[in-house]
A and B are shown apart, each in its own frame.
Chain A
């Protein structure tokens, strides 16, 4: 009898289980950063968030409110183009960007616990901070003041109802992060990683946005001096986008068969994509510009798709997601930024020389001051036009217009944009609902 009882008790004890069960197919939030491999995976997780943040918003944010596109689609495309933005539209959500920031914050906090600040540790930290800077830079350009969060969220006892931070303070942080990335991120190599070159290129953009032309000029020099970046020939121009990792590319978000983006839905879904070239855009090309027929089907009176990212002659009704990388920064962009900076610093000829580098590639003749003024009114406009056709649909146009103060004059005839306060997006209703301390942008109150 006793034996049986002991047996039963034994059975219970043997089989009785611990309640401390660790996750099997994932890590518990507190137990992740333990090895160098974890640190690496954490940083790739930031890139993963970057993939989704820009998959569709690249065009909504960078092109949707500007003059190069037209649309037949309701929802964000129509609202952006008609300047009837509302707080519930898709592109008003900053979820994707703060996901990048949150993952970067984890990495920035925990990588130093696993790795030293040299070698791999530094490289990883550089990428994490670089991507965080990218996200904040976009956030400021889209919403103005945004909450500046630099610590990972790890528990409910933390302050989470953060207020919006002045945009200049956020941009200071962007600058710090990019400076760190410039020193520590990988030097060259794979364009799908945030390299030192990408940091310098983004710094150029940052200073142009802040109208600090000295610094913009100096950092774009650094990029242009880097022998690993060269302009490709016009024959390879589409391949910058279709093949990826070109010599001209500085930073691109990588995608593949499994990790896809919405470029095709945005630009090339047969006769039904979100965007197609606007009449303004089609009429803006100078005769003989080789880029025109690489950008869209010039044989059609009303082309319904954009070829640029898929190659000339691309014709597909397939709404399958796209697998091409999204090129965020490339040399032509930086060259034209440098030209703009030089112009503001008084070096008109230097500026025109750089513009002509880009024009020549497209088989266009050199511009001089007179022709530039004749054609575009002034040199700045000529540079901006060059950016429009060279960097079309790459997500730069709207920010270029805002940065140069030309957004209202350009868009007013088209959609009545007239208020400076209207240049930012509304903060999404969802974000405000979740955080009572967030105040809506003035124009959208």
Chain B
């Protein structure tokens, strides 16, 4: 949320300056009061001095009005002068008209002419003109009834900081003052029983009876309601109170407290309707984010990210280790730079982004400069991370027994390999705890420095940061440098220009933590036998043994790095054409360049002299322009009308360069010049994509009570077939603030209430750049002749996935805004799914991308913010909960075999079921003896009968044959509900935040648990294997291990590897202390905070592998744990200082 703070701070700042000067020049100069529209009584103490200093408003202009309403005259003046005019409704309601005709006059001249013959005076503060009635002469002359006393006091904020320029006014009089630079005030000749009214913009007004006291101290409480909260929406902003779309916001305060290094992690558990799962716990690692469920099968399901109007590349640029989702491009953005994140969820909010909006839109707004003295902020922390738990594995003796069992259980037992029996060989005499060798306490350091400030016509915000984060696996780290400069310049009254430019440099040292190959370290460190020695007698790593690689050797000797440079920038020019009519044009650019290096030295391989290197360099550029007109006008003081319309284009270009090499002359030269053999020039490619768009919005409200809005967007994309290139995305929404009605006027339980309803359409164009055109791939070479081959067939009718979404929501505030509740119900239907429909192989193609099938997502989401305790001890709670039911409603019948589509090894897609159901065999236990297989179930039709110690499989069709027809749905990766809860406590300088995050009711298919409970050949096992079946009669759930698993006891897809993925995490705990201001001000500090934070402190779950917050595949194959880089528990100590 962008609060009106910007304006307020500007106001306060200028107020303070004025105050300091005016104290010298005039005493006791005050005037008038006015009532705000909301009904709050405030008093502004203003200084006549300002009027006298009006000479400085030397700029002159023409001003002509003829017989217009006074109000309209003021509006004309506002637009002519560029100043805002503040006034109380009452004082401008006099029905007489105004006529003025002045040429080349300055502001004061015009003001005086306008106000002529009215009992009004004015005061100019910065760019704001305050109008107020002239003091009533009677009350000034009233005579005190008792002996007056002298009162003095101090006014501070909740943080103890003195507040400057706070109005202190004696009730039922027009006598008052304002606090000085130290937050102090003095009033003379006050009656003993007088009541002081203390008011300040942005804070709750307080009434304090004196009761004879002469020294009082007041703590002002921030009042979010008096600040008109503003929410960023597509191509503009909107008052939060007038919002009729469904938007979740996360503020800079929350971002800062989360102590996360990337903004997707910040959203986890903090925004209703948004589900974030971790794809990799590696530093800078990948995250999966879904807004209101998955609505696509084959194209992207990630939301559109827009940073200050710049569409952000959010797909991983990494080309090596694609198994390993270890690279998160969003991590290039420094969360400290972010002012707010808005997640647009319903079609009413997202349709303005048309063809890219079906998965929701995440709008990121960065901090901008505010008028006032420069504020220098420093935030630095240091901390460490560790793996929250290690998994139990067998030791050397236990492992040997298990492997010998596996040999003995073979149909024709082999002679055990020497690695099992020969415990004297230097390669086999180890008893290594691989997890202890690989995991470490990892250090993190970060420093953030920012300077922000500005003047009336100029604002700047500059920041620089450095993050150095070690991973909990040895030899992994992430280093990030970011820097940003946002400036805004008002060139003339009507013309503004500005820019946002950010540079980031990220460098990762990775290990291959994903995938299932023998280079996947997480897997290797659990299944590599403990007996395999770490080192050979000559001190070198025992690199490769019996199909398994040394994970420590890989981590230390193999190279796996990436470096990225990223420039994200936008420039705007904005001009006011007529009163209320503005044109704005944005140029945007996002450029990423990533270089990756990979090298596997020969010392880790079994082949003499064989080593392998790869290099990839990719560049991704997107740039575009959006130009739009916006118009805002209030008619008759009741009809608020605004409109926006514009056009834009966006282009993307991606270039990839790279080569593979092997047989390098030496392990020490890892650049490709050293390679003996070069291959894979096919990776050198480029592709482009373009989008052309027209968009518009109309919104109207009547007194903020009845609200309506409509959006349209037309998008044309180069990705689609020529016949279907343009599409139209409309949306409409209605709102009703029922608390504005007279029947609600007499209660004060509900302070604000609004009903919202919306419907609209959005699209998804996330398919290959040239899929519709088909593709004749070059590089299908034969020997030294270049060849070409058709690889994608064209489909000129290919078009968008189209999503229609309906949303009904309610926003409620109770008990004077102490409790705020927002709830939404939605239904989201996606049709024309872009799907790679498998076609007969006789065509020469695997699949053809077509628009087929429908998906539906429906859900409820709610959030609650409550200020439980206010005052000196404060307690705030925020809570959110979301649920989403996903269902495939139609798939083309010709695609279905046995009524479903196999979706990767573990999932199927089936009509009526959600995306993410697991399909396989049901494991019912283990036959204690041969005789227990009473029905004589066989392995396949002609296979052997299952014996004691082998799994009991569920015979779904009761034919006593266990084959593929016995597979059933065995689990569902969809969670029943998820969300988060945050509690903030503060007392004096202390504050404590505890943030819980939870997910309930989802299943995880743990490939990792399969791996570590399956002996295969020589793999190590978890300690569960100690309970394995050994002899007839053993009652257990752990089947007998058999070498190479001939009856697929372990290897079939089965519910034995499915576990409940529900969890509750103490995601973040932060304790901070703000040092006493009087103390630190001596050192030139405005604020100094010390804090300690813990992230992922505790996880309550039944899941038995590393962490239930895991998602190896993302996409439409959710809920699989391949053994990715585990999440880590971190502790930080930090200092925030403000100068």
Contacts and interface: CB of A to CB of B under 8 A. Distances in A.
Chain A partners chain B: yes
Interface of A: 1, 4-5, 8-9, 11-12, 15-32, 38, 40-49, 51, 74, 93-95, 98-99, 101-103, 105-106, 147, 149, 152-156, 160-162, 192, 254-259, 317-320, 430-436, 438
Interface in B823-840: 838-840
Given A51-B782, A94-B841, A11 B625 contact: yes
B625 A15 contact: yes
Interface string B860-885: 00000000000000000000000000
Contacts of B133: none
Interface in B872-924: 894, 897
B840 A24 contact: no
B637 interface: no
Nearest to A12: B627
Nearest to B837: A156
Contacts of A433: 838, 897
A1 to B, nearest CB: 7
Contact of B690 (A21, A30, A31, A41): A21
Contacts of A192: 782-783
A259 B782 contact: yes
A318 B607 contact: yes
B692 A17 contact: yes
Contact of A19 (B690, B789, B850): B690
A308 B1139 CA distance: 81
B113 interface: no
Contact of A93 (B841, B897, B1046): B841
A44 B786 CA distance: 7
B577 interface: yes
Contacts of A26: 685, 770, 775-778, 788, 791
A45 B780 contact: yes
B192 interface: no
B785 A40 contact: yes
B518 interface: no
B1007 interface: no
B775 A156 contact: no
A256 B841 contact: no
A432 B649 CA distance: 45
Contacts of B1001: none
B894 A436 contact: yes
Nearest to A139: B842
A25 B778 contact: yes
Contact of A162 (B648, B684, B840): B840
A435 B844 CA distance: 13
B606 A44 contact: no
Interface size class of B (residues with CB under 8 A): 35 or more
Interface in B786-832: 786-797
Contact of A155 (B577, B585, B795, B844): B795
B686 A19 contact: no
B1121 to A, nearest CB: 26
Given A41-B778, A46-B787, 14 more contacts: A28-B770, A28-B773, A44-B788, A98-B843, A102-B842, A102-B845, A149-B843, A152-B790, A153-B843, A162-B840, A254-B783, A259-B782, A433-B838, A434-B841
B848 interface: yes
Instruction: Please provide the 3 A-B residue pairs with the shortest distance between their CB atoms, ordered closest to farther.
Output: A102-B844, A29-B774, A44-B787
Contacts of B773: 22-23, 28-30
A197 B845 CA distance: 31
Contact of A258 (B679, B717, B796, B897): B679
Interface of B: 573, 575, 577, 583, 585, 606-608, 610, 625, 627, 647-649, 651, 677, 679-680, 684-692, 716-718, 722, 725, 769-770, 773-778, 780-797, 838-845, 848, 850, 894, 897, 1044, 1046
A102 B625 CA distance: 43
B651 A17 contact: yes
A29 B691 CA distance: 22
A5 B575 CA distance: 10
Nearest to B677: A257
A15 B627 CA distance: 12
Which interface residue of A317, A318, A438 has the most chain B CB atoms within 10 A?
A: A318
Contacts of A101: 842, 844
Contacts of A259: 781-783
Given A17-B651, A44-B787, A162 B842 contact: yes
Nearest to A95: B841
Contacts of B842: 94, 98, 101-102, 147, 149, 160, 162, 431, 435
A48 B781 contact: yes
Contacts of B782: 44-45, 47-48, 51, 192, 254, 259
A105 B790 CA distance: 11
Nearest to B656: A25
B769 A435 contact: no
A130 B568 CA distance: 55
A160 B777 contact: no
B81 to A, nearest CB: 18
A19 B607 contact: no
A98 B841 contact: yes
B269 to A, nearest CB: 40
B787 A45 contact: yes
Contact of B844 (A5, A99, A319): A99
A48 B795 contact: no
Given A17-B690, A19-B690, A160-B839, A28 B775 contact: yes
Contacts of A28: 770, 773-776, 794
Nearest to B688: A21
A431 B838 CA distance: 10
A43 B769 CA distance: 26
B790 A102 contact: yes
A433 B608 CA distance: 44
B692 A44 contact: no
Contacts of B848: 156
A48 B775 contact: no
A18 B788 CA distance: 27
Nearest to A433: B897
A430 B785 CA distance: 33
B645 to A, nearest CB: 13
B840 A161 contact: yes
Contacts of B606: 317
Contact of A27 (B722, B775, B783): B775
Among A11, A32, A46, A192, the most chain B Cβ lie within 10 Å of the Cβ of A32
Contacts of B718: 18-21
A155 B722 CA distance: 14
Nearest to B772: A28
Of listed A27, A29, A155, residue having the most chain B CB within 10 A: A29
A23 B769 contact: yes
Given A12-B647, A149-B843, A153-B843, A29 B778 contact: no
B246 to A, nearest CB: 32
Contact of B793 (A42, A46, A147, A154): A154
Contacts of B796: 155
B783 A23 contact: no
Contacts of A153: 793, 839, 843-845
Contacts of B716: 19
Contact of B687 (A23, A49, A152): A23
Nearest to B798: A156
Nearest to A147: B842
Contacts of B692: 16-17, 19
Contacts of A162: 840, 842
Best-surrounded residue of B692, B780, B850 (most CB of chain A within 10 A): B780
Contacts of B648: 12
B776 A29 contact: yes
A19 B781 contact: no
A101 B942 CA distance: 36
B1024 to A, nearest CB: 26
A103 B794 CA distance: 15
Contacts of B627: 8-9, 11-12
A212 to B, nearest CB: 28
24 contacts: A8-B573, A11-B627, A12-B627, A16-B692, A21-B718, A24-B685, A24-B688, A26-B775, A26-B791, A29-B774, A29-B776, A29-B794, A43-B787, A44-B785, A45-B782, A45-B787, A47-B785, A48-B780, A255-B783, A258-B679, A258-B680, A431-B840, A433-B838, A434-B839
